[in-house]
Amino acid sequence: MSAEKLRVVAIGVEAFDQALQDTGTPFVRLDWKPPASGDTDLVGALFEIDTACIDENGQSLVDKANRAVFDRILKGQPTLRRVLPAHQCIEGMTRTTILHAGPPIEWRDMCGPMKGAFLGAIRYEGLAGTDEEAAEMMASGKITYGPNHARNAVGPMTGMISYSMPVFVVENETFGNKAYCTINEGIGKVMRFGANGPEVIERLRWLEKEVAPTLDEAVRSMGGVNLKNIIAQSLAMGDEMHQRNVAASLNFYKAIAGPLHDALKGRENGTKVAAFVGSGNEQFFLNLAMAASKAIMDPCRDVPHSTVITAMSRNGVNFGITVSGLGQQWFQAPCLKPEALYFPGFSERDANPDMGDSAIVECIGIGGFAMGSAPAVVRFVGAGGLADAQRYTNSMGEITVGQNPALAMPNMDFAGVPTAIDIRKVVATGILPVINTGVAHREPGIGQVGAGIVNPPMTIMEDAVRAFAEKYAK
């Protein structure tokens, strides 16, 4: 027997792990639970799905639907087409519309950074002069707000998208749909972490007036930029495209450097724009990875019988998922705080619960799922050593439909990233999706205080399985 085929799930006594490590045997550690948490009702739901959802030949309709979704993900070809003000491309944006990250949430229930971001976005749009006036507009229903995900959009952390904000327009060439995400603001005090002071608003105006128009001119002159190629190249360069976009940001700049140089000719302060795009921000590509992932995942929605997760997202209070066969319904529960490394001077006490639409990247198999290809991120998020990173990636293989060969990980002997999360497998194995994430301070205006790893709450996976059984297996 070849030990290469041996896959060990370690349960119970942890002393056994050492023996597995000593012999180099790959293994996944589980906190032991009986299948589906020993919840007989839940075991019953999984059993019902397996037995009821079959075609005339006894083949699983769920497996077939999930394979179809997986194929759609593999066929996705996200291309950056334009950089436009949100109101010119996102449907239904009025001057008083503001979109946010995560599942729907009421103003009164929002966390501190999300509230801070809303107040800042209202002032940025010139709808109010002070935070007090802005808060009054939110409370009195003068602002229409809702999730980015409902408008084919995504945003990191607080995820603000308002009328004038420029967004990347990413087209999935294969299916013709478009997805949107704002331009990454850089680090420090930024609106995505809830900061809303004058320098934050000023930077957003500069993105709107200077950066976006030149980026748009450059991208248009090229006819588009293939983002999947950049993601693939950057996986070979140690990025996982969630907490590490060092190579991807450079590869994107490399792709547009010539046309951007031309677009900036004759403009004052062109060097500042080139430096911002080219070297000012190692997370510049994150927002492009998110828009690309959203463009890839949206055609996977509403496939009957599919148990594949089409979005994972957090609003700083609740973590929500949507599942292909269950349409637009959010399954949500309170977010967990990330297991994180904190920047000097900060600790877990300062951390806001998990936030942002960025976990869309894990849905296509990058981010935490590709950590084995990005050993340098492992220390940044406090996840241990290379072996741990590879263990994370291997364990994501347990809960996904297959590997994406177009997104190969040289560090994992060119295995494709684990792709298409199946809620049945999550519940049956007890292995939760792994998300690499930034951590915001719980007070608005302070910004990022760390980076780490977070899981969705298991209850939302269980709720989705129950709802699926209810819809398809009764």
* Interface with a copy of itself, residue 237, by CB under 8 A: yes
Q: Which stretch binds a copy of itself (CB under 8 A): 73-81, 83-91, 301-309, 379-387?
A: 379-387
Q: Minimal distance in Å, beta carbon 265 to a copy of itself?
A: 9
Q: Minimal distance in Å, beta carbon 381 to a copy of itself?
A: 13
Number of other residues whose CB lies within 10 A of the CB of residue 7:
13
Q: Which stretch binds a copy of itself (CB under 8 A): 216-224, 272-280, 288-296, 460-468?
A: 272-280
Distance CA 334, CA 456 (A): 9
* Interface with a copy of itself, residue 35, by CB under 8 A: no
- Give the residue, chosen from 9, 10, 25, 43, that forms a contact with a copy of itself under the rule CB under 8 A: 25
* Interface with a copy of itself, residue 382, by CB under 8 A: no
* Interface with a copy of itself, residue 137, by CB under 8 A: no
* Interface with a copy of itself, residue 338, by CB under 8 A: no
* Interface with a copy of itself, residue 438, by CB under 8 A: no
Give the 3-state secondary structure of 303-323. Answer: CCCCCEEEEEEEECCEEEEEE
Q: Binders of a copy of itself: how many residues, by CB under 8 A? A: 42
- Rank residues 134 and 451 by Cβ distance to a copy of itself and give the closer one: 451
* Interface with a copy of itself, residue 225, by CB under 8 A: no
User: Number of C-alpha atoms within 13 angstroms, CB side, residue 154?
Assistant: 29
Distance CA 303, CA 227 (A): 25
- Give the residue, chosen from 261, 269, 334, 347, that forms a contact with a copy of itself under the rule CB under 8 A: 261
- Give the residue, chosen from 117, 165, 255, 396, that forms a contact with a copy of itself under the rule CB under 8 A: 255
Structure tokens at 72: 């759609």
- Rank residues 154 and 412 by Cβ distance to a copy of itself and give the closer one: 412
- 134: region left, alpha or beta (phi > 0 left; psi from -120 to 50 alpha): alpha
User: Number of C-alpha atoms within 13 angstroms, CB side, residue 412?
Assistant: 31
* Interface with a copy of itself, residue 375, by CB under 8 A: yes
**3-class secondary structure, 15:** helix
- Rank residues 29 and 64 by Cβ distance to a copy of itself and give the closer one: 29
Distance CA 267, CA 271 (A): 9
Distance CA 82, CA 364 (A): 22
Number of other residues whose CB lies within 10 A of the CB of residue 258:
12
* Interface with a copy of itself, residue 106, by CB under 8 A: no
Provide the pairing of β-strand 161-162 with 415-421: unpaired
Q: Which stretch binds a copy of itself (CB under 8 A): 44-52, 384-392, 428-436, 440-448?
A: 384-392
Q: Which stretch binds a copy of itself (CB under 8 A): 176-184, 216-224, 250-258, 309-317?
A: 250-258
Nearest to 419 by CA among 159, 288, 235: 235
- Give the residue, chosen from 16, 107, 253, 346, that forms a contact with a copy of itself under the rule CB under 8 A: 253
* Interface with a copy of itself, residue 24, by CB under 8 A: yes
Contact residues for 284 (Cβ-Cβ < 8 A; gap 6+): 184, 245, 249, 252, 253, 277
Distinct helix (H) and strand (E) counts, the chain: 16, 19
Q: Where does this chain bind a copy of itself (CB under 8 A)?
A: 2-4, 21-25, 233, 236-239, 246-247, 250-251, 253-255, 257-258, 261-262, 270-271, 274-275, 278-279, 375-376, 378-379, 385-387, 410-414
